[in-house]
Amino acid sequence: MKTKLTLGVAISTLLAMPAFAEGTLNLYTWSDSIAPELIKKFEESTGTTVNIDGFNSNEDALTKLQAGSSGYDVVTPSQHFVKIMIDQGLLENIDAKDMAAFAQVDDKWKNQWWDPDSNYSIPLAYGTAGYTVNRDEYSGPVDSWKAYFEPDESMKGKIASLASPDEVIGAAELYLGVPFCTEDKAEMKKVYDLLMAQKPYVAAYSSDNIENRVGSGEVAMHFWWDGNSLKTRLDGANIEYAMPKEGLVGWLDSFVVPKGASNVAAAKEFINFMSQEENATIQYNYYAHSSPVKIDVSKAKYTPENAPELFPTVPMEFSRACSPAAQDLITKVWTDLLQ
Amino acid sequence: MRRGFRFWGLVPAWVLMLGTLLIPLMIVAIVSVAQRGAYGGFEWAFTLEPYRQILFSVGWTDELEFDPKYLFVIGRTLVLAGATTLICMMLALPVAYVIATRTPRMKTVLIYLVTLPFWVSMIVRVYAWLIILGNDGFVGRIWHALGGQGTLLFTPGAMLVGMVYSYIPLMVLPVFAAIEKLDPALLEAGGDLYASRWTTARRVILPLTWPGLAAGSILVFVPALGTVLEPMLLGGGKQMMMGTLIQTQFGSARNWPFGAAIALVLMVMVVIVLVLNARRAMRKEARS
C-alpha cells in the first residue's frame, strides 16, 4: 500500500511538471542565429526562462514538427517551409498582422506568397545563397555561375558544395535557366548533367566547417551564404562573395509558432521583442544577414560600403515549396550524383 | 517473495525493451509499408512501393527500370564496415596483447587511456582528424614535405582512418579481456614444443582469443554500418552511405516510407550478421 502511495505521489508530481514550466519559452532556431545578448535581455525584462535548440536544415525543423509535440514555442524556418508548414496545419494562427511586430516589417515582405494573409509568420532575416571564392587560390572572374559549375582545369579538387540539394540545385537551375520546382524530366536531366560534369572538380559535399575550408584555402570555391561569407571576410580571410549575373538563391526566415505550443503568449511577446527597432539592430549586427524589419541605420554595423555581400547587385530568386513530383526529381538528381 | 522479485525486478527491463526498442521498431516497420505524405510524413495506406524502390526506379527515360544504385550504396557500406572491422582487428590484437602483459597497475592506466576518447564527443573527435589531416595539420604537413600532392582529406583513406579511430576501443576491450584470460603456461608449452612465435600466435593465441575478436567485430561492424559523420566530414560526402541515404529520405527527399524501408534492410543485415555469429559460436562450443 505504502509503495503504491509513493508511486502515486511520484507520478502525480511528474504529471504536474508542465505547471512549473509556465515561465519558459522553448526556441528552435537555426544554430547560433539569435543574439545571446537579446536572449538575456528578454529573460531579464520578462522573467521568462528561454531554452534554445538549434537546427541546421529546414528539413530537420519540418521533420521535428511533423513528428508531433515538439515542445517548441517558436521556430524559424525559411519561406518555402513556412508555406509547407501552413499547408500541413502545423502552425498556430497567431494573427501576425495584428501584432506590434508586423508594423515594423518592411512592406515588401508583407503578405508574401508563403503567408498571403500574414496570419502565421513574422520575418526575421533574409539573404542569399551563392558561392565564395578564396582570392589567394582563384583569381578569375566571379560574375557568373559558370566559374563555379563549369570551372577551368586548375580548379580540379578545389571546389566544395553543400551536403544537401536544396539551394545547390536551385543555383544550377538559375545558371541553366531551368525554372525552380520543374516537373519536366528533360530539364532536370540538364541539371544532373551539369552537376555530374562538375563532380570531378568537387573535393567535398559538406555543409560543416565551411569557414575553415574556404578561409584557409583548402578549397578555392565554396557554395555558401552571404552573411557567413561576410563574417569570415571581416575576420581576415581573403575571400569574395560572387555576384553571378544569373542570380542568387534567396531565402527569408520567419518566426512561426507550432500548433499546440504551450506558451503562445510568451512566443508572441518574444517575436514582438525581437522586432523592436533597437533589438532588431542588435540582432542584425550579430547575425550579419539582412533585416526585413526596421533597424536603426545609424547603429547598423553593416553598410553597402563595408558589406557588399548583404546588398546584392544581381537578381534574387526565392526557393519555393516543390510538388512531390518535382521534389522527387531533385532527389533523383542528388542521389544519382552521389553514386 | 523471491519469485515475486524475480518477476517484478525485471519489469523495468521489460518496459525499457518494449518502450525503447520493440515499439519504435514496429513504428519503423509500419511506416515502411505506408504511403508517403506529399510533404514528408506518411499516410495510412498499405503499399510495398518503398521496397520496390530499392530495386526498381523510374529512370531519366521515364521507364521503370532495374536500378542497382541503392544496392551499390548497400554494398559500399558493407565494404566500408568490413574494412573498418578488419583493420581494427589487426591493430587491436597486438595492442591488447601488450596491455594484457603489463603489470596490473600499468594495465589499469592503459585501459583507461583506451577508453579516454569516449569522454569526448564523437563530432569533436572527427573534427580533430579534419585538422590533423588538413593541409596545415600535422599529418598534412608531413605528406606535403614528402612530396605529396593535393589534400589528404576527402578521400576514402581519410574516411577509413576516422572510422578505425572511432571504433577501435570497442575492439581492444573485448580482445584484451580474452587475452588476459589466456594461460601463459600454454604459450610456454608452445615454445617448449618448438613452435615459432608466429605458429604460437596462429595456433594458440588466435583460437583462444577468437570469442573476444568475434565480440569486438560485432561491436565495430554494427555501428560502422550506420555511420554518417566520417563519410560526410572526412570522406567529403562524394558517395552516399546507408546512413546518409536514410537521412536524406527523412530530410530533403521527404520520403519517410522509403527511408524506413532502407533502415529495416540495414537492420535485417545486422541481424543476419549476429545470427551467423551466434551459430558459429554455438557450433564451436558443441565441438569442444
Residue whose cell numbers read 555581400: A309
Check residue B102 and give its pLDDT. Answer: 92
- Closest-CA distance, A244 to chain B, in angstroms, reads 25
Check residue B38 and give its pLDDT. Answer: 85
In a domain, B178, yes or no: yes
**B60 and A185: CB-CB below 8 Å?**
yes
Check residue B1 and give its pLDDT. Answer: 54
At residue A122, the 3 state secondary structure works out as strand
Is a pLDDT exceeding 90 seen at residue A73?
yes
CATH number at residue B95: 1.10.3720.10
Is a pLDDT exceeding 70 seen at residue A298?
yes
Check residue B137 and give its pLDDT. Answer: 86
Query: Do A109 and A217 share a domain, yes or no?
Result: no
**A204 and B57: CB-CB below 8 Å?**
no
Is a pLDDT exceeding 80 seen at residue A4?
no
Query: Do A211 and A328 share a domain, yes or no?
Result: yes
In a domain, B24, yes or no: no
Check residue A12 and give its pLDDT. Answer: 44
Check residue B62 and give its pLDDT. Answer: 82
In a domain, A239, yes or no: yes
Is a pLDDT exceeding 50 seen at residue A293?
yes
In a domain, A15, yes or no: no
In a domain, B90, yes or no: yes
Interface with chain A: mutation pick from B36, B39, B242, highest number of A CBs within 10 Å = B39
Residue of B nearest to A199 (CA): B238
Check residue B278 and give its pLDDT. Answer: 83
Q: Count of domains in chain A?
A: 2
In a domain, A4, yes or no: no
In a domain, A1, yes or no: no
**A88 and B239: CB-CB below 8 Å?**
no
Mean pLDDT of all residues in chain B?
90
Query: Do A316 and A271 share a domain, yes or no?
Result: no
Is a pLDDT exceeding 60 seen at residue A270?
yes
pLDDT (average), residues B263-268: 91
CATH number at residue A137: 3.40.190.10
Looking only at the bridges linking them, the beta strands covering A248-255 and A122-134 are antiparallel
Give the pLDDT confidence of B191-242 residue by residue, as tens digits.
899 988 888 888 888 888 888 999 999 999 999 998 988 998 899 999 999 9
In a domain, B26, yes or no: no
Give the pLDDT confidence of A6-15 residue by residue, as tens digits.
444 444 444 4
Query: Do A149 and A46 share a domain, yes or no?
Result: no
Q: Count of domains in chain B?
A: 1
In a domain, B189, yes or no: yes
In a domain, A6, yes or no: no
pLDDT-based confidence at residue B150 (cuts at 50, 70, 90): confident
Percentage of chain A modeled with pLDDT above 70: 94
Query: Do A227 and A327 share a domain, yes or no?
Result: yes
In a domain, B132, yes or no: yes
In a domain, B21, yes or no: no
Is a pLDDT exceeding 70 seen at residue A90?
yes
**A206 and B236: CB-CB below 8 Å?**
yes
Is a pLDDT exceeding 90 seen at residue B41?
no
pLDDT-based confidence at residue A20 (cuts at 50, 70, 90): very low
Query: Do A212 and A115 share a domain, yes or no?
Result: no
Query: Do A144 and A290 share a domain, yes or no?
Result: no
Structural domain containing residue B262: 32-37+45-56+65-287
In a domain, A17, yes or no: no
Give the pLDDT confidence of B247-256 residue by residue, as tens digits.
899 888 889 9
> 3-class secondary structure for chain B?
CHHHHHHHCCHHHHHHHHHHHHHHHHHHHHHCCCEECECECEECCCCCHHHHHHHEEECCCCCEEECCHHHHHHHHHHHHHHHHHHHHHHHHHHHHHHHHCCCHHHHHHHHHHHHHHHHCCHHHHHHHHHHHHCCCCHHHHHHHHCCCCCCCCCCHHHHHHHHHHHHHHHHHHHHHHHHHCCCHHHHHHHHHCCCCHHHHHHHHHHHHHHHHHHHHHHHHHHHHHCCCHHHHHCCCCCCCCHHHHHHHHHCCCCCHHHHHHHHHHHHHHHHHHHHHHHHHHHHHHHHC
Is a pLDDT exceeding 90 seen at residue A253?
yes
Check residue B288 and give its pLDDT. Answer: 67
Is a pLDDT exceeding 50 seen at residue A5?
no
In a domain, B177, yes or no: yes
Q: Which of these ranges, A31-45, A156-170, B92-106, B137-151, has the smallest mean pLDDT? A: B137-151
**A327 and B41: CB-CB below 8 Å?**
no
pLDDT (average), residues A264-278: 96
Check residue B202 and give its pLDDT. Answer: 86
Is a pLDDT exceeding 70 seen at residue A28?
yes
Query: Do A88 and A220 share a domain, yes or no?
Result: no
Give the pLDDT confidence of B56-89 residue by residue, as tens digits.
988 888 888 898 899 999 999 999 999 999 999 9
pLDDT-based confidence at residue A22 (cuts at 50, 70, 90): low
Interface with chain A: mutation pick from B60, B72, B76, highest number of A CBs within 10 Å = B60
In a domain, A13, yes or no: no
Query: Do A236 and A257 share a domain, yes or no?
Result: no
Structural domain containing residue A200: 127-250+312-337
| CB contact B285 to A (< 8 Å) | no
Mean pLDDT of all residues in chain A?
92
In a domain, A3, yes or no: no
Query: Do A69 and A49 share a domain, yes or no?
Result: yes
Query: Do A132 and A122 share a domain, yes or no?
Result: no
Q: What is the ipTM of this complex?
A: 0.85
- Closest-CA distance, B253 to chain A, in angstroms, reads 5
Query: Do A27 and A118 share a domain, yes or no?
Result: yes
